[in-house]
Amino acid sequence: MDPKAPILVTGASGYVAGWIVKGLLEAGYTVHATVRDPNKVSSVGHLQKIAANSPGTLKLFKADLLNQCEFVDPMAGCELVIHTASPFIITGFVDAYEALVRPALEGTRNVLRTVEYTPSVKRVVLTSSVAATYGDAQDALNVPNGIFNESHWNTTSSVDHQPYLYSKTIAEREAWRLQAEQSEPNRWDLVCVNPALVVGPALTTNSISTSISTLQQFGDGTMRLGAPKMWNGLVDVRDVADAHIRAGFTPEANGRYILCGETLSLLQMGAALRKQFGSKYPFPSLPAPKLGFWAIAPLYGFTRDFVARNMNYKIGFDNSRSRRDLHIEYRDVRTAVCEHFQQLIDDGLVKKR
Ligand code: NAP
């Protein structure tokens, strides 16, 4: 890689991308950052401030995932493309295909087809997700010791059931297909990073990432009466950013990399928060019984099918490839959860008590 060549980061306004852009600017690179609205201060102001205090250079470009032409200019001259843009919402939409699947799939196609027409590009790093390795926690029954690794694929999600997970799965599959079918064989390679639920401080207050809303629920009383017995793989956002950058610059990096520091249940996350913040917030302390939660699930925005397939099944993730090839030494996820919650309080996104 030519250190002077610009690096394209799509979805630069996002929670995860903010830390990637920061890392690249601090290392002195020129970042071509795409956002849907480069004039929206709430979306890009934090990036401009970071750039002003870094040796690197930030250039903002407008690009919507649904418009292939818009990626041509920002990609010109880039050797490395880091494609993070994709909606990460699990509630609040009417049409799952339009809200999630179409932007994820068409966005990946549009970015990678532009790669085909941009001869300078040598590597694409795609932000996929552990969501592309499994669909429901119940799927853990089909893998050794309930531990998912990079050989696993999500085969149980659909546009009607777990559409976000489905969107990530078909977008990653499409990326591998386009990489394999490129017109000049092996001119560019693809490395996918597959993070678990990302936690830790955000550089922006503008993100609508489910990472933020998940943490908010620990402070707003949603789980006051009990938390369903569900487990999340968790990873610090700074480790996720480091992994993207190392995936971009480590010549031997290849294939998929699960990123997960540790898997915690909702109750374990609640316990970590209570240890740090005491009992002034309604952190969950009791497990919700499956049958009871199944009955009232629709009131909380979950389908009963989701509860049936996801409650009471422990899951785990094998992070050994990322430790071996990318040399990620994972930060403590309980600390990241607490830092993130403190930031939500400071930013007014969780009520101060
Ligand atoms: P985020 O803060 O909501 O970032 C998503 C980004 O996607 C935003 O910058 C948004 O840009 C962009 N985007 C959405 N729809 C777009 C469209 N139609 N055209 C152009 N840009 C669009 O969420 P995040 O948590 O950082 O997620 C970033 C990536 O990480 C996603 O690919 C997500 O699937 C993946 N991921 C996240 C987690 C996690 O726990 N957070 C875990 C695994 C994987 P605008 O500013 O223009 O709206």
Cβ atoms of 59 and 25 within 8 Å: the answer is: no
Residue 275 designated active-site = no
Nearest Cα to Cα of residue 86 among 125, 126, 116: 126
pTM score of the predicted model? 0.97
Instruction: Say which residue the tokens 């740090």 belong to.
Output: 276
For CA atoms 170, 90, 302, 268, give the dihedral sign. Answer: positive
pLDDT at 207: 82
Given a contact cutoff of 8 angstroms between Cβ atoms, the answer to whether 304 and 297 are in contact is yes
Question: Nearest C-alpha to atom 42 of ligand 1 is from which residue?
Answer: 197
14 lines ligand 1 (CB under 6 A): yes
Residue 302 near residue 227, CB atoms below 8 Å? no
Would the CB of 207 count as within 6 Å of ligand 1? yes
Which structure tokens are listed for 334? 């309980």
pLDDT of residue 129: 98
Residue 8 tokens read as 């394209």
Question: What pLDDT, on a 0 to 100 scale, did the predictor assign at position 32?
Answer: 98
Q: Which residues pair with 307 in a beta bridge?
A: none
| Residues composing the chain | 353
| Other C-beta atoms lying within 10 Å of the C-beta of residue 300 | 14
- Tokens encoding 110: 């549009």
DSSP state of 181: T
- 286 CA distance to ligand 1 middle (Å): 32
Ligand 1 centroid from CA 353, angstroms: 30
Question: How many angstroms separate the CA atoms of 79 and 111, rounded?
Answer: 14
- Residue 140's nearest CA partner among 275, 233, 279, 7 is 233
The verdict on the CB of residue 197 being under 6 Å from ligand 1 is yes
Q: Is 211 in the pocket of ligand 1 (CB under 6 A)?
A: yes
CA end-to-end span of the chain: 50
CA 60/CA 76 separation, integer angstroms: 13
* Cα 209 to ligand 1 centre (Å): 7
pLDDT in tens, 181-205: 999 989 999 999 999 999 999 999 8
**Residue bearing tokens 């294939």:** 255
Q: Which residues pair with 262 in a beta bridge?
A: 234
**pLDDT at residue 222, as a whole number:** 86
Q: Judge if the beta carbon of residue 206 lies within 6 A of ligand 1.
A: no
- Of 59, 62, 122, 168, which one is the catalytic site residue? 168
Residues of the chain with pLDDT under 70: none
CA distance 108 to 170: 10
pLDDT for the residue 211 = 87
pLDDT (tens digit per residue) in 31-60: 999 999 999 999 999 999 999 999 999 999
Query: To 5 degrees, how large is the angle CA 195–CA 130–CA 6?
Result: 40
- For residue 195, give both structure tokens: 């993070």
Whether 85 is in the pocket of ligand 1, judged by its Cβ within 6 Å, is: yes
> CA torsion sign, 209 to 58 to 253 to 120?
positive
Residue 30's Cβ-count burial label (10 Å; 0-12, 13-18, 19+) is: middle
- DSSP secondary structure letter of residue 182: -
Sign of the alpha-carbon torsion through 110, 116, 122, 123: positive
Question: 278 C-alpha vs ligand 1 centroid, how far in Å?
Answer: 32
